[in-house]
Amino acid sequence: MLETFEKYRDDLSRAEAWRSDRVSCIPHYHTGVEIVYVLEGRVSAIIGGRALTADAGQAIVSGSYTVHAYGEEKAPAIVAIIPPCETPALQKRLIAGRFVNPVFSDEDDRLKQMMQLLLSEQEDAVVRAGLSAAVLGFAMRKAGFETMAGDDKGGLMAQVLRYLSENYAQPLSVEHMAAHFGYSRSRFSHLFKANIGVSVPRYINILRCRDAAEALLNTDLPVVDIAINAGFNNTHTFYTAFRELYHMTPGEYVKTGRS
CA 113/CA 110 separation, integer angstroms: 5
State residue 123's pLDDT score: 94
State residue 156's pLDDT score: 77
State residue 66's pLDDT score: 81
pTM to 2 decimals?
Answer: 0.67
Q: Residue ranges of the chain with pLDDT lower than 50?
A: 1-8, 150-151, 153, 259
State residue 189's pLDDT score: 94
Instruction: Write the pLDDT tens digit of every residue in 122-143.
Output: 999 999 999 999 999 999 999 9
State residue 149's pLDDT score: 55
CA 56/CA 44 separation, integer angstroms: 12
Question: Helices 235-246 & 223-230, crossing angle to 10 degrees?
Answer: 80
Instruction: Write the pLDDT tens digit of every residue in 135-185.
Output: 999 999 999 998 765 445 456 777 888 788 889 999 999 999 999 999 999
State residue 31's pLDDT score: 79
What is the layout of strands, in order, in the sheet containing 42-47?
A: 25-28, 68-70, 42-47, 50-55
Pairing status of strand 68-70 against strand 77-82: unpaired
State residue 95's pLDDT score: 76
- Residue 97, phi-psi category: left (phi > 0), alpha (psi -120 to 50), beta (remainder): beta
> 3-class secondary structure for the chain?
CCCCCHHHHHCCCCCEEEEECCCCEEEECCCCEEEEEECCCEEEEEECCEEEEEECCEEEEECCCCCEEECCCCCCEEEEEECHHHCHHHHHHHHHEEECCCEEECCCCHHHHHHHHHHHHCCCHHHHHHHHHHHHHHHHHHHCEEECCCCCHHHHHHHHHHHHHHHCCCCCCHHHHHHHCCCCHHHHHHHHHHHHCCCHHHHHHHHHHHHHHHHHHHCCCCHHHHHHHHCCCCHHHHHHHHHHHHCCCHHHHHHHHHC
